[in-house]
Amino acid sequence: MRGWSSKEALPQKTWEQTIREKIGHTNMVIVLVGKYMRSATGVVKEIAMAKELTVPVFGVYVNGAGGLSALPDGLGRSRVVAWEWDKIAAMVNQVMTGGKNG
């Protein structure tokens, strides 16, 4: 397993090209869903890029976020799980066996 996160701040155009390329090399995108994700425009763009590239996306609630937290556009509530290893493993297995974006 490799992490493809961007580790540095980049100019917008470079960021979009770099992130699209990185997402294209992945088997899935896991969104860490905090309480205030609705305003995270970069996350929304990453989700859209993943969908365009047919890379499965799911989320994991972190930092006190939960079922009532606002989600970023493009991430369905049914595609977000609690930070519990069995639930994360089940979602990884689901997307790896053909469960595409939802």
- 4 in a domain, yes or no? no
- 40 in a domain, yes or no? yes
Instruction: Note the pTM of the prediction, 2 decimals.
Output: 0.82
- 65 in a domain, yes or no? yes
Q: CA nearest 73: which of 100, 50, 53, 99?
A: 50
- 1 in a domain, yes or no? no
What is the domain extent for residue 85?
A: 12-96
- 45 in a domain, yes or no? yes
Average pLDDT, the chain: 87
Q: CA nearest 31: which of 73, 61, 66, 70?
A: 61
Domain count of the chain?
A: 1
* Dihedral sign computed on CA atoms, order 6, 1, 96, 83: negative
- 2 in a domain, yes or no? no
pLDDT tens, position by position, 34-62: 988 777 888 999 999 999 999 999 999 99
